Homo-oligomer: A and B are copies of this chain.
Amino acid sequence: MKKLINDPKAVVNESVEGFGLAHADLVTVHTDPLFVVRKDAPVQGKVGLVSGGGSGHEPLHAGYVGRGMLDAAVPGAVFTSPTPDQILPATTAVNGGAGVLHIVKNYTGDVLNFETAAELAAAEGVEVRSVLVNDDVAVEDSLYTAGRRGVGGTVFVERIAGAAAERGDDLEAVTAVAQRVIDNVRSMGAALAPSTVPHAGVPSFDLAEDEIEIGIGIHGEPGRHRIAMENADGITTRLLEPITADLNLGSGDRVLLMVNGMGGSPASELYIVYRKAVALLKERGVTVERSLVGNYITALEMEGASLTVLKLDDEMITLWDSPVSTAALRWGV
């Protein structure tokens, strides 16, 4: 294992410390327990947004803390859920009196620990709602999940719900728009090569030299099937078809499309995937209204890509376009 790290046990703490130094204009890093909050938290009268999960998916979630997106991110160990004693102080730290929304990816540990933290926060008088992101169409149940896994759609939920909170929507309205995004977003990914969790020291799974995994999870959980290596257009078609079928996308629909890199694939390849995805959607009469191409939810240095498609309505577009200022997404400011 060759990595730019020091002690494998210190990876998350040192990385988040560096993140805090690099983005001191946007965030404050709390250690012991570890969580990251927006510089001006709590914003009085604004609904607070908290998300979190295992580390190794950067820029998710700390990269999305800032104006128009998250108020706090709670990083667990690599590929491991954060604990309630991290989530609770993050929740109370961003409570500006209008309540807090937990945005939770559907993994059993995350679900349990956010639930516990929400109960503890409620006992302290903080009103907490929760939404569960489960956008991965690849498999129904998975290694760490009952039901569908939460993956790339999380970025869209955090952004659009964050924009709603920023304009002053109340907790019920912010929760509703977050749920509307979840109801209309689907994802699927493929791996060309695995990644290595620092404290494990060996790759999370094996792939033969001519083999890829279609429907991979962001922790290397098994997907739908392993196939012989295909070209980019073929892989893109395999990823997009289950998404469009599940969303029942057709003529006249407008979408937000993300081509996401898993961490180890070059940007040039992601744009080749994007080119094909746009063409396939166009064939169906679907318009790509907005898009993201890049590393937005990764699996350490895994090679591969995922597609995320959100069926848009006018309000979602307005919220998407509103100003956002975070380490990983920034426009309008």
Count identical subunits in the complex: 2
Contact pattern, A 4-33, Cβ under 8 Å of B = 1, otherwise 0: 111100011011111101100000000000
A58:B266 contact, CB within 8 angstroms: yes
Beta-carbon contact of B5 and A275 below 8 Å: no
Interchain CB contact under 8 A, B22 and A235 = no
Closest to A12 in B: B268
Which one of A16, A274, A291 has the highest number of Cβ atoms from chain B below 10 Å of its Cβ?
A274
Known: A18-B274, A267-B58. Contact between A231 and B330, CB under 8 A? no
B-facing residues in A54-69 (Cβ within 8 Å)? 55-56, 58-59, 63
Of residues 240 through 276 on chain A, the ones whose CB sits less than 8 Å from some CB of chain B are: 263-275
B268→A11 contact, CB < 8 A: yes
CB distance from A235 to the nearest CB of B (A): 7
Contact A3 B263 (CB under 8 A): no
Contacts of A16 in B (CB 8 A): 271
Q: Check A3 against B332 for contact (C-beta < 8 Å).
A: no
Contact residue among B6, B55, B233 (Cβ-Cβ distance under 8 Å from A268): B55
B232→A17 contact, CB < 8 A: no
> A293 an interface residue at 8 Å Cβ cutoff?
yes
- Given B19, B56, B209, which contacts A271 in the complex, CB threshold below 8 Å? B19
Interface of A is mostly: mixed
A212 at the interface (CB under 8 A from B): yes
Q: Is the CB of B22 within 8 A of A271?
A: yes
Instruction: Write out, one digit per residue, whether chain A residues 106-138 have a CB within 8 A of any chain B CB (1) or not (0).
Output: 000000000000000000000000000000000
Flag whether A229 is at the interface (Cβ < 8 A): yes
Would A301 and B21 be within 8 Å (CB), given that A330-B330, A332-B333 are in contact? Answer: no
CB-based contact A233/B6 at 8 Å: yes
Task: Report the Cα distance A3→B267, complex, angstroms.
Answer: 12
A173 at the interface (CB under 8 A from B): no
User: Are B4 and A269 neighbours in the complex by a CB distance under 8 Å?
Assistant: yes
Choose from B22, B232, B293, B301 the contact partner of A264 (Cβ within 8 Å): B301
Please tell me which one of the listed residues B5, B55, B278, B304 contacts residue A21 in the complex, with CB atoms under 8 A apart: B278
Q: 17 other contacts beyond A17-B275, A18-B274, A332-B333, with CB at 8 A cut-off?
A: A2-B193, A2-B210, A2-B303, A3-B192, A3-B232, A4-B265, A6-B272, A14-B232, A15-B271, A18-B272, A19-B271, A21-B274, A56-B268, A195-B266, A263-B264, A263-B266, A267-B298
